[in-house]
Amino acid sequence: MALLELRGVSKRFGGLQALARVDIELEDGVIASLIGPNGAGKTTLFNTLTGLYQPDEGEIRFQNRSLIGLKPEQITGAGISRTFQNIRLFSHMTVLDNVLVGMHSRLDTKLWQIFLSTQKYQAREKAAQRRAIELIELAGLSGRENEWAHQLSYGEQRRLEIARALAAAPKLLLLDEPSAGMNTSEAQSLMALFKELIGRYVQAILLIEHNMRVVMGISDRVHVLDYGEKIAEGHPDEVRQDPRVIEAYLGQGVWTARRP
Amino acid sequence: MDLALEILPQVLVDGLVLGFMYALIALGYTMVYGVLEFINFAHSEIFVLGAFVGVEILLMLQSAGLLAAVHPAAVLLLIILAAMVISGLAAMALERVAYRPLHGSPRLVALISAIGASFLLQDGLRLFESLWRNTFYLNYPTLELLDRTMPLAANVVVPVKSILVVVTALVMLWGLNLFVNHTRIGAAIRAVAQDPDTASLMGVPVNRVIATTFFVGGAMGGLAGVLFGLHYSLVNPYSGFFPGLKAFTAAVLGGIGNIPGAMLGGMVLGMLEALAASYLSLATDGAFGAEYKDVFAFAVLILILIFRPKGLLGEKVREDRA
Amino acid sequence: MTRSLAPIGLLGYIFGSFLLAILYPQSVLAFLLFEASLLLLYYIPAHAKVKSTLAALVLIVLMPLLGTINGYYLEVAIQIGIYAALALGLNIVVGFVGLLNLGFVAFYAIGAYLWAIFGSPQANEFIAGGVFPLAPYWFFIFLLLSIGVGALTGLVLGLPVLRLRGDYLAVVTLGFAEVVRALVNNLDKPVNLTNGPRGISPIVKPPLFFRPVLEFFGLEITDAKLYPLYFYFLVLLVVCVIILVTRRLESSRIGRAWKAIREDEIAAAAMGVPVVRMKLLGFAVGASFASAVGVLFAAKQVFINPESFTFMESIGVLAMVILGGMGSIPGAILGATGVTILNLQLLKGLSLWLNGLRQSGAVLTLPLLGSYSLSQIPVQFEPAKYERMVFGLILILMMIFRPQGILPPKQERKR
């Protein structure tokens, strides 16, 4: 049974059909990529999945439970967390606090426990901090815990966003262009990180990516969107040969060139 | 019931006067919100400044013995123009000093600066009048022409000053409409309101458009100030607080950023307030009276924001992107 | 080395400024120097225990001593405490959650009227039996009650409006405060709940339950001398509790969620923060602080009327938070101290000085400009009346030149 199941999901903004009856299935243990030309509806799909938008029609099931009508925080609670295409860190909070915010739904301390600063509460906070530091190390940011998020470099901020998303203990991790703005070696280490995550930290990863080296190098499956429609899906090598995909990308040169 | 009918014409005239006043002030809020997406909190002081310019000129003419000598229509024209120009310039200066340095900051930062400017202007005006006249509660000298009344229909008598308010406001609103919809700079204002980045790429001088918007909005506020002074006589530096808040309510009611909306919102709010002020006491048998008219306006504001936050005619501001 | 020297130097400074304040009881400067010792305390490198001992020395021993010698200083200290508590409450809403609440004074008014109505004969107007005013010990019960009432009003207001855009929220809260003030002003009819613009008095003060203890130690202090000290310690206690609660909230998941909402609402929601619920909580906590302080204020003033709860008060507290630094606890306290002293001491001092000049009738002769008799300074020109100008200047200048405030929040070291 699939971890995530989208059936006929549509979303329309005024006259623009951003998503048209999209069906996607995602199995456990899989790294899948969502690709397509600019404006194909990839980020809209993420926003719909995470409750920022409600689909006009269609069904989204996660672990056989419907996500329709849930608020973003409830979806995070259910086990999906994400990063953003244009990094959205909490700039005036420390690296550590950014990651701790990600744990919000996993810490159920009560108000009176905080007021009285009970032993149990303190122990939980300590444990949360330990886990946060572990995730920060995983993201390659050891020793930077007390710096403000906006003081990090661009690549570091991207990795901090991943650590923050992992803090919510998701089963499914959604990454919106994680390697954007990275050089080849940074992208390589990012791919290694993703492989490490599967099975140990998350059950599946769905990523939007323009860097085809990353897509081809890491994906078990690729789903292609164009004008809101899913035009192809399958193993990376199959998708690469698909005439509809080639047509959608024709003239864009994305297959070889990396984004700036 | 008879009493209720008997006072109705008077109530409607009051509502009309209030409505035009709110509409004029609301234009300043709504135009600035349209181009900058921020509440120009100090706009109520620009309005008061207009009232003070009017009373100062009248008092000066009076002490020079000219008030009776010059034709009242010329006097009115003079004070209206002077108030519009000075208020407009003051609004431009305000934008230059207190808002433009904050361009690109979070919206709350600019709003807090605007609140500061509002307080500063209130006491600045008070300081000036205290040093200049040793009092900051000023009374408009009486213009005999304005105190006359005109019979409008059987047993309905309308004061000339109410007619002045309505006619002047109508002329100005018509002029504004021409300005915004049929001039190059008006088109530029609309372009910036839609999308400042694209407008600036298309060669629209955004800063000049913003300055013009402040001038026009300020001039309308100044005009409302003079009319307020002529109609209600007494002004002080703090007179702008309630009219300002209500005009903002009117702008939201009509749909913020929407110019016809501000006019409609002002009209509706003015009418509602006049009706509440007169009939609340009748309806509750004197338990609650006109003193609740301000509460009433805020209740309207809160209700619109909850049930129709985009206003009656829809707002015209940029959508926040997710 | 500096870690051991600094506290000793500061101790010297504290006693030096303390002596100055005693020797020159009229001097604003001496008192300012004394109060500055707390600020220095905040900055010096020293162990936390040393710092808190020195702070306790200043606040628990020296300040009351100074207050018994010069009652005015104690009054100023109480006012600072009240405003510090309000600023800390508003800081949660504006500084942590990032919501501009322009009607904060409404919650303060609600607390004040809660105790004023039942702690005076006023409640007899609408509750038969003549049991009012309540006995003094009820003060403490109302202090606790006001926390709940404040939180509840915060929720009732917040529920419909917290989904609004930030700037709309600001205007709605302002409108709410005006509605509360209009109600307080006009609810003397049809049933006399608030006594309208005439205000309520006399309001019962808290009980002097510790009098037997004082007598046991042979201390005979008159009520007139005892109450200011009593209120000073009460306010100090309330401020300390508020600081403690705020600090604990700040470092908990709730505080982190608040700041996350302030930084980026959408990202916060995506990280599992229930945005509306957290905003409501922040609103309610801030309101409950203000309401509790209101109870204290009513008891201290003995007389309250709607004039104490104007829009200007809300902006004054906002100016304190902005001056100190949004989101910073020491900042809110510093801001409250700075603005209160500015208003209470500097502006009033300037007014008195100008009055003196006026009465002296001296003539100022300037070359070329002619002479000017000082008695001609307009009587309407009174610096003490220009609080709005001060608040306005603080807000504009801080926003343009230092939006993070004087004492912006520090990056806490924790690991």
pLDDT tens sequence across C155-212 = 998 888 888 878 888 888 998 998 999 999 998 878 899 999 999 989 999 998 888 8
Q: How many angstroms separate the CA atoms of B176 and B260, rounded?
A: 10
Q: What is the CATH number of domain B2-307?
A: 1.10.3470
pLDDT tens sequence across A161-196 = 999 999 999 999 999 999 888 888 888 888 999 999
What residues of chain C, 153 to 212, have a C-beta less than 8 Å from chain B?
160-161, 164, 166-168, 170-172, 174-176, 178-179, 182-183, 185-186, 189-190
User: Is the Cβ pair B120, C168 closer than 8 Å?
Assistant: no
Give the residue ranges of chain B where pLDDT is below 50. Answer: 320-322
Residue A134 forms contact with C (CB below 8 Å): no
* A180 and A239 housed in the same domain: yes
Question: What's the CA angle centered on B197, arms B195 and B199, to 5 degrees?
Answer: 65
What is the domain count for chain A? 2
User: Is the Cβ pair B302, C391 closer than 8 Å?
Assistant: no
Q: Determine the distance in angstroms separating the CA of C270 from the nearest CA of chain A, rounded to an integer.
A: 5
Residue C257 forms contact with A (CB below 8 Å): yes
For residue B245, which residues of chain C lie inside 8 Å, CB to CB?
171, 174-175, 178
Report the half-sphere exposure of A258 (CA within 13 A, side-chain side). 14
The pLDDT of residue C267: 95
Residue C175 forms contact with A (CB below 8 Å): no
- Is position A237 within any domain? yes
Q: How many angstroms separate the CA atoms of A59 and A80, rounded?
A: 16
For residue B322, which residues of chain A lie inside 8 Å, CB to CB?
47, 52-53
The pLDDT of residue B321: 37
Q: Which of C170, C386, C397 lies nearest to residue B123, judging by beta carbons? A: C386
Q: Which of A88, A89, A97 lies nearest to residue C266, judging by beta carbons? A: A88
- Name the 3-class secondary structure at C366: strand
pLDDT tens sequence across B79-114 = 999 999 999 999 999 999 999 999 888 888 899 999
Contacting chains of A (3 CB pairs or more, <8 Å) are B, C
- Name the 3-class secondary structure at A93: coil
* A75 and A97 housed in the same domain: no
Give the residue ranges of chain C where pLDDT is below 70. Answer: 1-3, 368-369, 411-415
For residue C191, which residues of chain B lie inside 8 Å, CB to CB?
none
Q: Determine the distance in angstroms separating the CA of A127 from the nearest CA of chain C, rounded to an integer.
A: 11
Residue B304 forms contact with C (CB below 8 Å): no
Percent of chain A with pLDDT over 70: 95
Query: What residue type is assigned to position A129 of the chain?
Result: Q
The pLDDT of residue C188: 86
SS (H, E, C) chain B: CHHHHHHHHHHHHHHHHHHHHHHHHHHHHHHHHHHHCCCCCCHHHHHHHHHHHHHHHHHHHHHCCCCCCCCHHHHHHHHHHHHHHHHHHHHHHHHHHHHHHHCCCCHHHHHHHHHHHHHHHHHHHHHHHHHHHCCCCEECCCCHHHHCEEEEECCEEEEHHHHHHHHHHHHHHHHHHHHHHHCHHHHHHHHHHHCHHHHHHCCCCHHHHHHHHHHHHHHHHHHHHHHHHHHHCEECCCCCHHHHHHHHHHHHHHCCCCHHHHHHHHHHHHHHHHHHHHHHHHHCCCCCCHHHHHHHHHHHHHHHHHHCCCCCCCCCCCCCCC
What residue segments make up the domains of chain C, in order of their start?
1-69, 77-351
Question: Do the beta carbons of residue B149 and residue B159 sit within 8 Å?
Answer: yes
For residue B39, which residues of chain C lie inside 8 Å, CB to CB?
167, 170-171
Q: How many angstroms separate the CA atoms of B151 and B145, rounded?
A: 15
- Name the 3-class secondary structure at C237: helix
Residue B322 forms contact with A (CB below 8 Å): yes
C141: Cβ contacts below 8 Å, ≥ 6 apart: none
Crossing angle of helices B107-133/C387-401, nearest 10°?
140
Contacting chains of C (3 CB pairs or more, <8 Å) are A, B
* A181 and A245 housed in the same domain: yes
Question: What's the CA angle centered on C293, arms C288 and C296, to 5 degrees?
Answer: 135
Within its chain, how far is the Cα of C381 from the centroid? 27
For residue A111, which residues of chain C lie inside 8 Å, CB to CB?
254, 281
* A67 and A174 housed in the same domain: yes
Q: How many angstroms separate the CA atoms of C294 and C9, rounded?
A: 39
Q: How many angstroms separate the CA atoms of A43 and A176, rounded?
A: 7
The pLDDT of residue A257: 42
The pLDDT of residue C329: 93
ipTM metric: 0.90
Peptide bond into C403 cis (omega under 30): no
Tokens 């404006």 found at: A39
The pLDDT of residue A49: 94
Average model confidence (pLDDT) for chain A?
Answer: 89
User: Is the Cβ pair B295, C160 closer than 8 Å?
Assistant: no
- Is position A160 within any domain? no
Question: What's the CA angle centered on B234, arms B232 and B236, to 5 degrees?
Answer: 130
What residues of chain B, 149 to 178, have a C-beta less than 8 Å from chain C?
none
For B61, other C-beta atoms within 10 Å of its C-beta total 18
Question: Do the beta carbons of residue C383 and residue C351 sit within 8 Å?
Answer: yes
pLDDT at position A27 over 50:
yes
Give the residue numbers spanning the domain of A139.
Answer: 90-152
Q: What is the CATH number of the domain that holds A15?
A: 3.40.50.300
* A135 and A23 housed in the same domain: no
Lowest-pLDDT choice from A41-50, A115-124, C25-34, C234-243: C25-34
The pLDDT of residue B280: 81
* A224 and A180 housed in the same domain: yes
State both tokens at C180.
Answer: 């509360």
* A109 and A212 housed in the same domain: no
User: Is the Cβ pair C166, B113 closer than 8 Å?
Assistant: no
User: Is the Cβ pair C415, A50 closer than 8 Å?
Assistant: no
Segment holding A22, helix H or strand E: strand A16-26
For A253, other C-beta atoms within 10 Å of its C-beta total 8
User: Is the Cβ pair A148, C411 closer than 8 Å?
Assistant: yes
Residue A115 forms contact with C (CB below 8 Å): yes
* A9 and A71 housed in the same domain: yes
